[in-house]
Amino acid sequence: MEKQTASLHLVSAFLAMEPTVRVMSHARLLGGGSVTVDVQRFIWDHCISKAIGKCHAPYLKNFLKKLILEIESNQDDVLDELYNFTDENAVKGNVRAFKYIYFLFPDDASCEDAMVRQLVVPLHCSLNMLQGDTGYIWPASPFLSEFILSFPDMFSSKTCFEVSFGSGVGLVGVCLSHVKASKVILSDGDLSTSSNMKLNLKMNQVSTEDDEPVTLEYLDSIRIRTEIDIISSPQVKCLHLPWEYASESVLQGLKPDIILGVDVIYDPLCLPHLVRVLSILLDKRKSIGSSRDYSRGCDSYDVVAACDTYISSVIRNANTFDCFLASVDKANLAITDLTRTLQPASLLPYMQSYDRLSIRLFKLSSK
């Protein structure tokens, strides 16, 4: 069983495009300390051969170089296929690539059906967080995804809204769909990233609209024409939603049960807009159009069910985080650190570059 687990971790790390040094550590573990000929054959059959036509050329080239160098440095024989391989069929370029994220459920996991031992999520994503868009797998995204998969009852049959400057590659949306959230709305402030996110959802057989990403203008036009819920089928919608332009009427129309955010606490200039959006979504009162109760001299409100917000984030700058806390307090919102009390299961044990200890989980709610 240990060898089977080591084999699965090696393949998973390679297809997730983990740093080469991390993949090599899995290879050595499988070989009992060295990359034996049997391990090389396994890598060829289950990693490289499966990656042809899919793997990112620079990554594959670097991996092969490091693999052969390590084998030769140990004065072991190198498999002929590794020496003779060319990357003609590898995906060229250095901008985006396909990664395959394997969520591996332990045998005693209570977070998944016993018949489902793994969830494979292919993603078209950026390899550089500084590239200029948000189509990148942010560090807190795997954590929040593990959280969703570990506690499916919290999200099943719920309307979930990811309020992010960029929902990135849609990983959280795929996981929400997997645990059968009734509705999922993924937001992004960048139109090109929204298109890529929608592509990833379709690759994972998550039903989405067939037209372009929904815009704020489209939502406003729907609200004008009809009183029906604007978040109708299909199950997942990709919403172009720059925080600074999000109107109160549109946000109220979303009616989420749960709000999610991934690595949204990073830019002090964006924080006031983020907290304003959260304040509107978390407000327990919902204004009834423009009606006014003249006997009381105030607007008329309905009391709506309160929703909770879960934010997973790496705290990169203490001053920025303090600014976020101050904005939350000023908006009369309560924040609770759940990092120690609500730990998700470790479903990405092979992903050594993913530092779970650096990520914090917060819950926001209306006071």
- Summarised one tens digit per residue, pLDDT across range 231-269 is 333 478 888 888 888 888 888 888 899 999 998 898 889
Topology given in CATH for the domain delimited by 128-366: Rossmann fold (3.40.50)
pLDDT given for residue 239 in this prediction? 81
The DSSP code for 94 is S
> Which tokens go with 12?
């998973």
Angle, alpha carbons 277-283-285 (nearest 5°):
140
Chain mean pLDDT for the chain: 79
Q: What is the pLDDT of residues 283-339, one digit of tens each?
A: 865 544 444 444 445 544 444 456 889 999 999 899 999 999 999 999 999 999 999
Q: Are strands 359-366 and 333-337 parallel, antiparallel or unpaired?
A: antiparallel
What gap in Å lies between CA 113 and CA 180, rounded to an integer?
A: 13
Tokens 């372009």 sit on residue: 212
Helix, strand, coil distribution of the chain in percent, nearest 5: 40, 20, 40
Q: What is the pLDDT of residues 161-219, one digit of tens each?
A: 998 765 568 899 999 999 999 999 988 776 667 777 888 888 888 876 544 444 445 44
Q: What is the pTM of this model?
A: 0.83
What gap in Å lies between CA 207 and CA 319, rounded to an integer?
A: 41
- pLDDT band, residue 158 (cuts 50/70/90): very high
Three-class secondary structure of residue 62 per DSSP: helix
**Secondary structure, 3-state, 270-332:** CHHHHHHHHHHHHCCEEEEEEEEECCCCEEEEEECCCCEEEEEEECCCHHHHHHHHHHHHHCC
Sheet holding 159-162, edge to edge: 236-240, 183-188, 159-162, 258-262, 308-314, 359-366, 333-337
Domain boundaries, the chain: 2-84, 128-366
Note whether 324 and 271 are within 8 A (CB): yes
More confident residue, 103 or 93: 103
pLDDT given for residue 91 in this prediction? 52
What gap in Å lies between CA 182 and CA 281, rounded to an integer?
A: 18
Q: What is the pLDDT of residues 33-84, one digit of tens each?
A: 999 999 999 999 999 887 766 677 788 888 999 999 999 998 888 999 888 8
Tokens 């990092």 sit on residue: 339
The partner residues of 166 in beta bridges, in order of sequence, read 188
Listed residue (317, 326, 316) closest to 139, CA to CA: 316
List of residues 6+ apart from 111 with CB closer than 8 A: 105, 149, 150, 151, 152, 345, 347
